[in-house]
Amino acid sequence: MIRNPILPGFNPDPCICRKGDDYYLAVSTFEWFPGIPVYHSKDLKNWELYTHVLTDDTAVDLKKLPSAKGIWAPSLTYSEKEELFYVVYGVKNSMNARYFDVDNFLITSKDITGPWSEPVYLHSSGFDASILHDGDGKKWIVSLEWETREGYEKPGAICLAEYSPERKEIVGYPTRIWTGGTDRGCIEAPHLTKRGEYYYLMCAEGGTGYGHSVTMGRAENVWGPYLKDPMNPIVTSIPGDFYERHDPDHLKPKYFNPDAVLQKAGHGSYVETQLGEVYLVHLCARPFVPELRCTLGRETAIQKMAWTADGWLRMEDGTNLAKEYVPESQLPEYPVKELPSLDHFDSEELGIQYYAPRIMPGSFADVQARPGYVRIRGQESRTSLNKVSILARKLTSVYAMVTTQMEFTPEVPQHSAGLILYYDNMNYINLRKYYSETLGQSALSIIHLENGEKAELLSTRVPVDDVPVYLRLNIRDRRLWFEWSYDGTVYARIGDNFDTTKFSDEYSRYGEFTGSFVGLTCADRVKHRHYADFDFFEYVVDSIPQS
């Protein structure tokens, strides 16, 4: 059996495609770089982080964008006729006054690892754009047209436009073709496919929260009219009918289903194997209850599907409730290399698992300056939306232990470095070494930012020598705490327990849609050049540390 989620942690809005015997799956990254991770599998059970599509933070400038803006909902497809990969993605620039300003682009590559073409601008009328390569050679762009006018159903309707590869632009304006297959409202995430005589339009409805779902419609003509699947929704966490077209809120916590392990199931994309099997990937979440807070963010799950005799797509078991355990494909099992739990920074390049908010990690993290270490050059404060030095990886379990050894000699109070649990620039907790003028020497203490309110927990302050120091973060379900050590064997606790659930999309007032990260950080708020050296970074999942 396949156990969901197949991609735990912050991996939302999955889109899957196949090239021969290889399966590729892309997810959203919002303000994080590198952008658009692509996972690879040959059996749909074992997945490896394979590459990233967006690696130039000057060509795609996310600096100064608030949390949860940036790269939304990539569409990854493969055109067999052209032997070409396509990625359509949106850059969300603003959600002020619910106007949702976004620019949509298209790029191509012969190889999934690149190089990728220069971006082609498509339009800015909505988000979640994707592409269909039709059998007659035409190409179609579907997207959600974001509605801003009073008196109209929000967020809007699904729109279609033809794309001209020769002119490298859409033809005319996006035209509305569908308002959904249910009355759950908040339609989004359209994917257009062709099978037999029908065009199939797969969407998400109900908002990307607890009423989320996957729906389907079909038509004989690409422009419609589209007939809704009589069983809609075809995948969800909350079966049944409800009317929410009047409510544009995406979260809808009243639809939490206590009988479902996977919540928020929706935003789907399907693929047919070379054996004729059908699998659908979708986002999901696993909240803390009763708070309904998703510290790990929105994750990726998979369901086994089947086509009915009359041409509709269904879950293989005949239900529509997203399952934690799913039958495996008949494809040969193909184990893949897992991300390392311990990184000694012995490679000449940073590991593929590392990310940074808004800028590429390599712009401040250097593994060649001192072999066997990563040297992190300090920049702005962790609250900044511009240039922040946080070298992080996704938190994939709420049972984890994170450890590092750091060498750092702060010279002024504006120098600090250490270990961080980071949801966004308004919500993080940081065990840092800094220069204390009060003590006249270096010290350790904790800074906690909760929805923009900063707390310097001076009661946690401990004087330390300017020698290598071990720092540790323990996460055990609802509580987390820090420890430190000189020798890496005997650790002393620093500070009290903190609430894990607060690092979540639901708790954050300023950001949403992402997930928690753990990592290494350094700040030099004077000259942006003072640095810290880290000997290793260890991220151990499912450890049960003693309190």
Q: What is the pLDDT of residues 525-535, one digit of tens each?
A: 999 999 999 99
Q: What is the pLDDT of residues 16-66, one digit of tens each?
A: 999 999 999 999 999 999 999 999 999 999 999 999 999 999 999 999 999
CATH assignment of 2-326, among 1.25.40.80, 3.40.50.10860, 2.60.40.2140, 2.115.10.20? 2.115.10.20
CA dist list (Å): 425 to 372, 421, 431: 29, 11, 15
Q: For residue 542, name the pLDDT band (cuts at 50, 70, 90).
A: confident
- For residue 544, the model assigns a pLDDT of 57
- For residue 98, the model assigns a pLDDT of 85
In three-state form (DSSP H/G/I as H, E/B as E, the rest C), the secondary structure along 245-258 is CCCCCCCCHHHCCC
- For residue 511, the model assigns a pLDDT of 82
CATH assignment of 342-541, among 3.40.50.2000, 2.60.120.200, 3.40.50.12280, 3.50.30.60? 2.60.120.200
Give the percent of the chain with pLDDT over 90: 97
Which candidate, 101, 217, 223, 107, places its Cα nearest to that of 171?
A: 223
- For residue 178, the model assigns a pLDDT of 98
Backbone φ, ψ for residue 255 (5° rounding): -95, 15
In three-state form (DSSP H/G/I as H, E/B as E, the rest C), the secondary structure along 269-314 is EEEECCCCCEEEEEEEECCECCCCECCCCCEEEEEEEEECCCCCEE
**Can you give the residue ranges of every domain in the chain?**
2-326, 342-541
- Give the separation between CA 34 and CA 351, rounded to whole angstroms: 12
Three-state DSSP class for 84? Answer: strand
Q: What is the pLDDT of residues 344-383, one digit of tens each?
A: 999 999 999 999 999 999 999 999 999 999 999 999 999 9
Place of tokens 């699998």: 279
Q: What is the pLDDT of residues 252-276, one digit of tens each?
A: 999 999 999 999 999 999 999 999 9
Q: What is the pLDDT of residues 448-471, one digit of tens each?
A: 999 999 999 999 999 999 999 999
Query: Does the pLDDT value for residue 443 go beyond 90?
Result: yes
Query: Does the pLDDT value for residue 543 go beyond 90?
Result: no
The set of catalytic residues is 13, 188
Query: Does the pLDDT value for residue 547 go beyond 50?
Result: no
Mean pLDDT over the full length of the chain: 97
Q: What is the pLDDT of residues 115-139, one digit of tens each?
A: 999 999 999 999 999 999 999 999 9
> Roughly how many angstroms between the first and final C-alpha of the chain, as a whole number?
35
Antiparallel, parallel or unpaired: β 469-476 and 374-377: unpaired
